[in-house]
Every structure is written in C-alpha cells, then in structure tokens.
Amino acid sequence: MTSALVTGGAGFLGSHLIEALLKKGYLVYCLDNLYTGHLSNLEKVLDRIVFYKQDVQNPLPKVKVDVIFHLACPASPVHYQKDELFTINTSYFGTYNVLELAREINSEVIFTSTSEIYGDPVVHPQSESYFGNVNTLGPRSCYDEGKRAAETLCYIYHKKYAVPVKIVRIFNTYGPRMSLNDGRVVSNFIVKALRNEPLTVFGSGEQTRAFCYVDDLIEGLLRIHEYKRNFEVFNLGNDNEITVNKLAQMVIQLTGSKSHIVFNQSLEDDPFRRRPDLTKIKKAIGWEAKINLEEGLKKTIEYFRSVLTCES
C-alpha cells in the first residue's frame, strides 16, 4: 500500500488532500499542531488515518512513507503576521525537518510553496523562471522570504542528497473549510456578504487575482506527485484573472446580499497583479483548472452559509 505523510493536514488544503489520498487507497499519516488547522476538518476521516498533534518545527516521527506532502505553515496574512518569527521558523526549520526525514527514509517531498515568492511582480503573468520582486523588510516578508528560503533548502537537499523534490507554487485557492477569520479576500467577502455587512476593498480594487477552486488544486497536487521527475518546480492555480472589485460584485450578487462596497487604503506590499503562467504544467502533465469562478463561489457560499447557520 502506498503511504503518505501530510504536514498541515488538518488545514484547509491538507484536509482535502487527505480525503483525496484515502480515495486513492493510500495509508495516510497526518501531522498538525492545530495552530490554524482544526480536527473538525478531518472528522469524516479521522478514524482512517494516523494523526500526530505536533509542530513541524520539532523532529518528525520516524514513519516510513513513500511521499511527504509538506503543507504546514500559516498561509493567510492574518495568521502569518500574528507571530512573524513563528511563521519564518515554520517555513525554514519545518522544511528542514521534512527534508531530513525524507533523506533518512528515501521519500519524495512535495513542497507547497506560494505565489507570494514572486512578491509584487514586474513580470506578468508569472512563470516559474521569474525570480520575483519581494520586499525583505515588509509585513509579508516573514511568509514570502520564509517560503523562498524553504525552496532553497529543497534545492540543496536534492542537489546534495538526491532527495526527490517537487516545489509547487500555489496561487490563490478557495473553497469549503476556509476559516471564517483567515483574512483572505474570498472568505472575507463571502462572510461579510452573508452577514449583510460592508465589503472592504483595499486600494482602488483594480488589483487582480486568479482564483482556483480547491478540488482542481488537489487534483493538480496529485498529478504532480505522479509526474516521473526527481526535481521540478510548477506553478499551480487558475489563470483566469479578475479584479477585486468584480469579485466583490460577484459575491454580493451570488449571495443575494444587501451589502455594499467600501474602500480603504492599500495594504503595504500587496501585489497589484497576480496570475500564473501555467504553460509548463499544462505541457508537462496536461493539467488545468476546470471549475469556473461562479461555480466554485456557489459551492463556497453554500459551505459558509451552513457554518454561519450552525453558529447562530
């Protein structure tokens, strides 16, 4: 039986990944300190996995697995800016521990990096060959630079120890199990719209993002794992670009909300344009996102509506 360890497995992406791995017949180990993850995300599968409540910054359990999906790290601005030292330590020392375990047990590593490594890009769309435009001294740097350093660790461990590594630069992803208070634009807009509260847009609202529904992203992660290369870097996301203003209008319309849009000053180091160049992944493994934004938003709205109903 093929086996996998998922760090950060109780989080938004990790819990969806674990369900997908179980459907494929994997034996799954999950490691999470529950800093931003929740056991409720795993309630349907908890009796089918081995769960370790542990911080990835500490040496990992010596489990023998075929692949380690390394997702552990606070990923939303609200969470990663809460304790910046914790965030950068998680990226660096957590990835170091994952790579050390992989070297010891001869395992592959799928490292989930981020589009944040491109910073506020001067190249558009962003391809894997772009080095980025990142401020090392800003409020986002603990996450941006932490992930960049972790990518370097992955490169060194592959070069020095031949550890098979695939680096996956994930662009904006949304869907069920996002936290109510995670500070990301999709969840923020949906929760406020369902509460008929004003939707806050920072800056002009003409900044762009490209949003990938979680099911598409998980399929992409699994396809990358199955790709027979020992080292590779892929962008992963949806390349359909939309302004934040249009996203806000869509959410208000789809929720039937009485909310209106209010504007606030721009956030420091907030990228003005972001869209992945997916040429490489489409050519290599034939993957592309299938779920359009309206369809994905409807599913996500339904999830948040049920969560808010339970809380009321």
Annotated catalytic residues are: 143
Q: Tell me: do 185 and 262 sit in the same domain.
A: yes
Q: Is this model's pTM higher than 0.85 or not?
A: yes
> Is the bond leading into 125 cis (omega within 30 degrees of zero)?
yes
Contact yes or no for 269/119 (Cβ under 8 A): yes
Does residue 219 lie in a domain region? yes
Contacts of 274 (CB under 8 A, 6+ apart): 115, 118, 121, 126, 171, 172, 208, 209, 210
CATH number assigned to the domain comprising residue 261: 3.90.25.10
Alpha helix segments (H runs only) across 82-213: 84-89, 95-105, 141-161, 185-194
Contact yes or no for 32/64 (Cβ under 8 A): no
**What SS3 class is residue 48?**
helix
Q: Tell me: do 104 and 227 sit in the same domain.
A: yes
Q: Tell me: do 204 and 85 sit in the same domain.
A: no
Does residue 304 lie in a domain region? yes
Q: Tell me: do 245 and 103 sit in the same domain.
A: no
The predicted pLDDT at position 312 comes to 60
Count of domains observed in the chain: 2
Per-residue pLDDT 10s for the chain (312 aa) are 899 999 999 999 999 999 999 999 999 999 999 999 999 999 999 999 999 999 999 999 999 999 999 999 999 888 988 999 999 999 999 999 999 999 999 999 999 999 999 999 999 999 999 999 999 999 999 999 999 999 999 999 999 999 999 999 999 999 999 998 888 999 999 999 999 999 999 999 999 999 999 999 999 999 999 999 999 999 999 999 999 999 999 999 999 999 999 999 888 878 889 999 999 999 999 999 999 999 999 999 999 999 998 776
Q: Tell me: do 89 and 221 sit in the same domain.
A: yes
The number of residues in the chain equals 312
Does residue 280 lie in a domain region? no
Q: Tell me: do 230 and 245 sit in the same domain.
A: no
Q: Tell me: do 42 and 55 sit in the same domain.
A: yes
Q: Which long-range contacts (CB under 8 A, 24 or more apart) does 297-300 make?
A: 297/174, 297/186, 297/190, 297/250, 297/251, 297/254, 298/254, 299/175, 299/176, 299/213, 300/174, 300/175, 300/176, 300/178, 300/186, 300/187, 300/190, 300/213
264 C-beta neighbours (distance < 10 Å), count? 9
Of 161, 295, 169, 153, the C-alpha closest to 224 is 169
Q: Tell me: do 11 and 114 sit in the same domain.
A: yes
Per DSSP, the residues of 251-298 read HHHHHT----EEEEPPPTT--S---B--HHHHHHH-----S-HHHHHH
The predicted pLDDT at position 267 comes to 80
CATH number assigned to the domain comprising residue 87: 3.40.50.720
Does residue 276 lie in a domain region? no
- Last-in-domain residue among 220, 236, 252: 236
What whole-number distance in Å separates Cα of residue 111 and Cα of residue 94?
11
Q: Tell me: do 47 and 73 sit in the same domain.
A: yes
> What is the span of the domain harbouring residue 254?
177-209+240-271+291-311
For the record, the structure tokens of 115 come out as 């589009």
